[in-house]
């Protein structure tokens, strides 16, 4: 039968070819299949690959597009990583510069605990100090504290914790004289700060607001910082922080607009900083002389009085007091002291200490009435505010203001012990004896903020710190990052002084 011609007969030809293949030997079948398949490939209209070429092209385009997206994502990630790395490096540089400010504060504060002129307000040592020029930015720090409440400006210096009342060793009678502390809150504070527990007598509930009466007692533990008072019933943000909600030491617009915005304020153009600026848990004095030697304990029966190089009148009085078994509450008890005591033969006679204005300062420096190495909770007569001084036993607002005014004109030598309070005629002997056990003229623990920043980048860090220079090496008692609360001063006010400092260091 003849084979049909033309494209329409291909199926029939294919069938015939297969029938013929079945009659051929195996080897010839393979050769035929190669020839047949090759013939099919020569036909562009009916090739099996013709329909897949478009699909392959689309697939290639999709792959190229995906590859481009992957490449773009990789480039974006690389750029983001680079940006994040740069930001991280700047942040670390700012932190390192801030820590330089902390160490600068340690160095300066360690030089003279009783001379606040070095650390209280010292812009030359604490304002816009150049740390390093890394070739891209110049890094600076400024150490500052809250200034006078009547001023909106910060002070470039430190605040000694001894200028505040230590709540761990204060009684309720003193604390209730602190502004904004009621007698009930003062007692609650004493209970919590000294025992770690709050005791709320039912009879006092009428004086307490809802937050106090409904709050659970605090957990039993010692207080670690004043900010923990927020967990004490009756204490809240406005009471603790006052109008300085962002802790930057500046009177910001929202802190002097009445009730228009948070925090609430009295719109008196003064920054009220709350209890946090009046209370502490860190302060203590060392029981040593001004030159660092251990003080002699007047109550120690083993103390050899004859080796103390004392005036004969005072030595005789001390020996008579020892025979009588008399104990002193404070060395100030010897000021203008007199009384009937027994002599060596047991006869009662009149004795006088002979301690007056001239002898008082040396007496307070050299002697103590305890062997304790740390004297906790004393208030620095040379740096405490009038609010704090007025709260001390025997004091009032008038005396406190007089003390603040009188100490301004005193030399560092004159005020190295609390004796000047009596020597300057501000108090008599009886009142001095009442106040002296609460007083010191030294500060070893310091509170401050550090602002570190880079020029021209503008990256900055703000940290809060409390240091203790009574130990060697000085220790950091508190370190907190306050950057999220914003700048204490406008960055524009920092750039110009920074350039001036850089030029002066060049």
343, pLDDT greater than 90: no
CB 463 within 8 A of CB 480: yes
Percent of the chain with pLDDT over 90: 51
Label residues 245-265 b or e (16+ Cβ within 10 Å = b): bbbbbbbbeebbeeeeeebeb
Residue 156: which pLDDT band, with cuts at 50, 70 and 90?
very high
Q: For residue 267, what are the contacts with CB-CB under 8 A and spacing of at least 6?
A: 256, 257, 258
Looking at per-residue confidence, does 240 or 252 come out higher?
240
Q: Which range (223-237, 366-380, 485-499) has the least confidence? A: 485-499
6, pLDDT greater than 70: no
Q: Which range (285-289, 307-311, 502-506) has the least confidence? A: 502-506
pLDDT in tens, 430-451: 999 999 999 999 999 999 999 9
Q: Which 3 state secondary structure label does DSSP give 418?
A: coil
| pTM across the whole model | 0.76
pLDDT score at 204: 39
Residue 148: which pLDDT band, with cuts at 50, 70 and 90?
low
pLDDT score at 130: 95
pLDDT score at 1: 44
pLDDT score at 222: 67
CB 297 within 8 A of CB 369: yes
Residue 502: which pLDDT band, with cuts at 50, 70 and 90?
very low
pLDDT score at 426: 96
Mean pLDDT of the chain: 80
429, pLDDT greater than 90: yes
pLDDT score at 264: 72
Handedness of CA 456, 488, 477, 472 (dihedral sign): positive
pLDDT in tens, 417-426: 999 999 999 9
Q: For residue 307, what are the contacts with CB-CB under 8 A and spacing of at least 6?
A: none
Looking at per-residue confidence, does 89 or 13 come out higher?
89
86, pLDDT greater than 50: no
| Consecutive H or E run containing 315 | helix 312-323
In this prediction, residues 93-106 reach a mean pLDDT of 95
> What is the number of helices (H) and of strands (E) in the chain?
15, 16
Residue 40: which pLDDT band, with cuts at 50, 70 and 90?
very low
pLDDT score at 152: 55
Q: Which range (73-77, 106-110, 446-450, 490-494) has the least confidence? A: 490-494
pLDDT score at 320: 93
pLDDT score at 482: 92
Residues 304 and 298: their CA atoms lie apart, in Å, by: 10
pLDDT in tens, 200-218: 444 433 333 333 333 333 3
Looking at per-residue confidence, does 98 or 496 come out higher?
98
pLDDT score at 500: 38
pLDDT score at 37: 42
pLDDT in tens, 179-198: 999 999 999 999 888 765 54
Looking at per-residue confidence, does 504 or 60 come out higher?
60
pLDDT score at 328: 95
Paired with 294 in beta bridges are: 288
Looking at per-residue confidence, does 57 or 454 come out higher?
454
Looking at per-residue confidence, does 321 or 489 come out higher?
321
35, pLDDT greater than 60: no
219, pLDDT greater than 60: no
∠ CA 329-366-286, rounded to 5°: 75
Residue 63: which pLDDT band, with cuts at 50, 70 and 90?
confident
In this prediction, residues 277-289 reach a mean pLDDT of 95
∠ CA 285-288-289, rounded to 5°: 115
pLDDT score at 20: 52
Nearest to 1 by CA among 11, 13, 193: 13
DSSP, residue by residue, 139-208: EEEEEEB---TT-S--BSS-EEGGGSEETTS--HHHHTTSTT--HHHHHHHHHHHHHS-----GGGGGGS
Percent of the chain with pLDDT over 70: 75
């Amino acid at each position: 039968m003849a084979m049909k011609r033309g494209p329409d007969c291909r199926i029939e030809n294919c069938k015939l070819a297969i029938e013929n293949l079945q009659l051929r030997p195996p080897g010839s079948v393979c050769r035929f299949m190669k020839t047949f398949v090759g013939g099919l490939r020569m036909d562009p209209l009916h090739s099996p690959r013709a329909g897949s070429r478009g699909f392959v092209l689309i697939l290639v385009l999709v792959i190229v597009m995906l590859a481009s997206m992957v490449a773009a994502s990789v480039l974006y990630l690389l750029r983001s990583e680079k940006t994040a790395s740069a930001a991280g490096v700047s942040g670390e540089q700012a932190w390192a510069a801030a820590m330089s400010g902390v160490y600068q504060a340690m160095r300066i504060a360690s030089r003279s605990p009783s001379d606040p002129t070095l650390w209280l307000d010292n812009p030359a040592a604490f304002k816009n100090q150049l740390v390093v020029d890394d070739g891209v930015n110049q890094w600076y720090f400024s150490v500052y504290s809250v200034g006078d409440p009547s001023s909106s400006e910060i002070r470039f210096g430190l605040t000694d914790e001894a200028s505040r009342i230590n709540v761990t060793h204060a009684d309720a009678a003193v604390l209730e004289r602190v502004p904004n502390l009621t007698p009930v809150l003062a007692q609650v504070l004493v209970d919590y700060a000294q025992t770690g527990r709050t005791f709320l007598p039912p009879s006092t509930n009428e004086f307490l607001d809802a937050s106090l009466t409904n709050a659970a007692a605090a957990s039993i533990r010692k207080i670690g910082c004043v900010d923990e008072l927020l967990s004490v019933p009756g204490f809240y943000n406005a009471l603790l922080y006052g109008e300085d909600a962002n802790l930057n030491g500046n009177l910001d617009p929202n802190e002097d607009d009445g009730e228009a915005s948070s925090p609430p304020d009295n719109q008196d153009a003064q920054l009220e900083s709350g209890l946090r600026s009046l209370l502490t848990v860190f302060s203590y004095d060392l029981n040593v002389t001004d030159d660092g030697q251990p003080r002699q304990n007047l109550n120690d029966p083993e103390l050899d009085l004859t080796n103390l190089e004392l005036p004969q009148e005072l030595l005789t009085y001390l020996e008579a007091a020892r025979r009588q078994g008399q104990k002193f509450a404070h060395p100030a008890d010897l000021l203008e002291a007199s009384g009937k005591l027994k002599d060596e033969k047991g006869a009662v006679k009149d004795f006088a200490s002979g301690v007056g204005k001239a002898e008082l300062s040396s007496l307070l420096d050299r002697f103590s009435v305890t062997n304790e190495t740390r004297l906790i909770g004393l208030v620095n007569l040379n740096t405490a505010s009038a609010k704090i001084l007025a709260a001390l036993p025997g004091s009032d607002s008038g005396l406190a203001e007089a003390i603040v005014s009188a100490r301004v004109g005193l030399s560092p030598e004159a005020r190295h012990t609390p004796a000047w309070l009596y020597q300057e005629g501000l108090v008599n002997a009886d009142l001095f004896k009442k106040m002296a056990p609460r007083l010191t003229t030294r500060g070893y623990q310091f509170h401050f903020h550090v602002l570190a920043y880079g020029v021209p980048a503008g990256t900055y860090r703000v940290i809060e710190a409390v240091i203790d220079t009574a130990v060697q090496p000085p220790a950091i008692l508190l370190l907190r990052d306050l950057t999220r609360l914003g700048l204490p001063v406008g960055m524009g006010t920092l750039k110009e002084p920074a350039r001036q400092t850089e030029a002066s260091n060049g």
